[in-house]
Amino acid sequence: MKIFNSVKEWKKELSQLKSEGLSLGFVPTMGALHEGHASLFKESLKDNDRTLVSIFLNPTQFDNREDLNNYPSSYEEDIKILEDLKVDYLFSPAYEELYRDNYRYSCRENKLSQILCGAARPGHFDGVLTVVMKLLNIGGAQKAYFGEKDYQQYLLIKEMAQTFFLETEIVPCPLIREKDGLALSSRNRRLSSEARQLAPTFYGLLNSGSSREKIKKDLSKAGFKVDYIEDYHMRRFGAVYLEEVRLIDNVPLR
Ligand code: AMP
C-alpha cells in the first residue's frame, strides 16, 4: 500500500491513474478501523480498479475537546487491516496540510444539520461537511463510500455533493452490527465490559416498534442517558450516552 501525507504527492499519483484510465473508489475514515469500515473498503475494492482510504481525525467536527482527546486511535493496526485487504492507497495528512486556512472557510447546511445529532452538537456537521468537501476534492475518485451507521451524515454529504456539482458519486453502504445487535463503532472500544454488555439494549429498544416515549423511558431505566429518539425520513434515529460514551444508531421504520 502506498501512503501519502501530502496533497501534492497524491495528486501526482492521481494523474498517473487517470492517464491509465483506471477507476478509483474512496473511503474517508477517522481511523480506529473495524469491520464496519472494512465493509466499505470491500465494496470499493469490488467496484473499482483502485481504492483510496483516508485516515484523518478531524478536530473541527468535535464540539467537545474531551471527546476528541478520548477518541481511540490505532494507526499501526489500521495499516495492517488495510494491507490485509489489499487497499491500494492511504492518505493520512496532518491538520496543517488539510486546513491551510486554519478553518477560516467552511461548508454549512442550514436545515437537516441542525436537528438530530446537529441539535446536541453545535458545529459538528459544519466540520464534517468541510472536511468531506476537502477530501472529495483531493481524492478525485469516481465513487466515495459512506456508512448508513451515520445516516444523517450520509444524507447531508449526498446532498452537498449534488448541490456543489461534485463529480464523485456518493454510495451508501449498510450498517454493520455485532452479533448481539450493537452497531460497530470506534467508540465502542471505550466502553467497560459491563457497559458493553448493556449496549445492545439500545438497538433492541430502538428497533422494538414501541412509542418513542416508551423507548426513552425504558432506556433511562436501563441506565442510558438519552439525547434523542426521533423519526425522520422513514427511519428511527437515536443517540444515547453510556458511561459518557456517545452511541448513535438508526433503523428503518416499520
Ligand atoms: P468514521 O471513521 O467513524 O468517521 O467512519 C468512517 C466511515 O465508516 C463512515 O462513512 C461511517 O458511516 C462508516 N461506518 C462506521 N461504522 C460503521 C458501521 N458499523 N457500519 C457501516 N459503516 C460504518
Q: What's the rounded Cα separation, in Å, for the pair 136 and 161?
A: 9
CA atoms within 13 A on the CB side of 92: 14
Bridge partners (DSSP) of residue 51 are: 25
pLDDT class of 3 with cuts at 50, 70, 90: very high
**Is it the case that residue 254 has pLDDT exceeding 90?**
no
- What's the mean pLDDT when you consider all of the chain? 98
149 CA from centroid of ligand 1 (Å): 6
Q: What's the rounded Cα separation, in Å, for the pair 39 and 27?
A: 10
Mean pLDDT in residue range 36-40: 98
Pocket test for ligand 1, best of 33, 37, 121 (most atoms within 8 A of CB): 37
250 CA from centroid of ligand 1 (Å): 13
The pLDDT assigned to 160 comes to 98
- For residue 184, what is the DSSP state? P
Q: What's the rounded Cα separation, in Å, for the pair 30 and 79?
A: 13
pLDDT class of 74 with cuts at 50, 70, 90: very high
Q: Annotated catalytic residue: which of 34, 37, 124, 233?
A: 37
Q: What's the rounded Cα separation, in Å, for the pair 29 and 26?
A: 10
* Percent of the chain topping pLDDT 70: 100
- Residue owning the nearest CA to atom 6 of ligand 1: 29
Q: State in Å, rounded, how far the first CA of the chain is from the last one.
A: 43
The pLDDT assigned to 9 comes to 98
> Are 55 and 90 within 8 A, CB to CB?
yes
CA atoms within 13 A on the CB side of 5: 3
The pLDDT assigned to 215 comes to 98
CA-nearest of 251, 245, 204 to 225 is 245
pLDDT, one tens digit per residue, over 55-65 is 999 999 999 99
pLDDT, one tens digit per residue, over 102-161 is 999 999 999 999 999 999 999 999 999 999 999 999 999 999 999 999 999 999 999 999
pLDDT, one tens digit per residue, over 220-236 is 999 999 999 999 999 99
Q: Is 12 exposed, middle or buried (0-12, 13-18, 19+ CB in 10 A)?
A: exposed
Looking at residue 11, its amino acid is K
Residue 37 designated active-site: yes
- Residue owning the nearest CA to atom 14 of ligand 1: 147
Pocket test for ligand 1, best of 27, 29, 58, 180 (most atoms within 8 A of CB): 29
The pLDDT assigned to 54 comes to 99
> Are 93 and 117 within 8 A, CB to CB?
no
Q: Which residues contact 5 (CB under 8 A, 6 or more apart)?
A: 91, 92, 93, 94, 97
- What domains can be seen in the chain, in order of their start residue? 2-173 (3.40.50.620), 186-252 (3.30.1300.10)
